Amino acid sequence: MKATALPRAPFLIMSGTANHALAEEVAKHLEVSLCAVTHRRFADGELFVKVDENVRGRDVFIIQPTNPPAENILELLLMMDAAKRASAARITAVIPYFGYARQDRKDQPRVAISAKLMANLVSLEADRVLAIDFHQHQLQGFFDLPVDHLYAAPVFVNYYRQKTFKDLVVVASDVGAAKMARGFAKRLDASLAIIDKRRTAANEAEAVNVVGDVEGRDCLIPDDMIDTGGTMTEAVYALKRLGAEKIYIGATHALLSGPAAQRLSEAPVEEVAVTNTIEIPPERRFDKLKVLSIAPLLAKAIGYTHSDLSVSSLFD
């Protein structure tokens, strides 16, 4: 009997509960519906996940940022486990924001390396990882899996190219952000300045010195994340003291914890552009906040990954 070639099973997109709106948007770009999944809790709060469709032999992409609460990472693990036990052919953990990444080395006695621990946990269940702007690029090596690490920079650069700036300077908020800032400066045909930041304690930042000329010029400060907004607001005030004109902030991951919204609202900044890698609840939003969507980039990356096409074109 002649064998009939079966059509290749299409991919499936699943969403955790951490950023359902982003997953919906990605699915819309890919012209598919999200796979049906039940998320429930036992009376004591324990998470329950059930995949409500047949995933046997399918290429499954599970979208879930792992910002706090820590249940977000747990939910991702449960969803991957459910898909694997339901015989999915391949599981890609799509982690738009990879949380617990800041603790990436033993820089004081008796501390955990949470970034490695989280990578180990994800590696237990995933076949691949697709992520955006890790806190450090070398986190890719923490996973013993193929990792596609995307940059949100093209999304920001396209956005900023539509604005008119006065003699733009891209400012690195600390020495660690210099490489990212240099990339922005090159693409936006701007010059570069660097803030020499001294940190007195975790989540407390103090801008000390600015290397570069900012007087009478517009400034753009790019970073991977805004947590409490301390780093950014210190940078803004330091630039203003040196005579900077309009100041723009661009950061991929909008954690916007604690005082961030108030600090940034009060700071002399024109606009704070972020992406939707993390769901931003209404109480963390403020007038100057502009949210750019990362969904088209993620959708392309998922489509290319499914079709075994190179995703490196998405880096430009």
Interface with ligand R5P (CB under 6 A) = 173, 176-177, 203, 205, 223-231
Report the distance separating Cα 274 and Cα 101, nearest Å: 19
Of 163, 197, 246, 290, the catalytic one is: 197
CB of 231 to ligand R5P, least distance (A): 3
Q: Say if CB 207 and CB 237 are below 8 A apart.
A: yes
b/e per residue 220-251 (b: at least 16 CB within 10 A): bbbbbbbbbbbbbbbbbebbbebebbbbbbbb
CB of 301 to ligand R5P, least distance (A): 23
Return the number of the residue (4 or 200) whose C-beta is nearest ligand R5P: 200
Q: CA of 311: how far to CAs of 52, 81, 179, 180, 207, in Å?
A: 30, 26, 21, 20, 37
Helices (H), 192-285: 230-241, 260-266
Report the distance separating Cα 201 and Cα 205, nearest Å: 7
Return the number of the residue (67 or 305) whose C-beta is nearest ligand R5P: 67
CB of 196 to ligand R5P, least distance (A): 14
Could you give the dihedral angle defined by the CA atoms of residues 22, 26, 31 and 37, in that order, rounded to the nearest 10 degrees?
Answer: -60
Return the number of the residue (64 or 173) whose C-beta is nearest ligand R5P: 173
Return the number of the residue (58 or 197) whose C-beta is nearest ligand R5P: 197
CB of 291 to ligand R5P, least distance (A): 17
197 given a catalytic annotation? yes
Residues assigned a catalytic role = 197
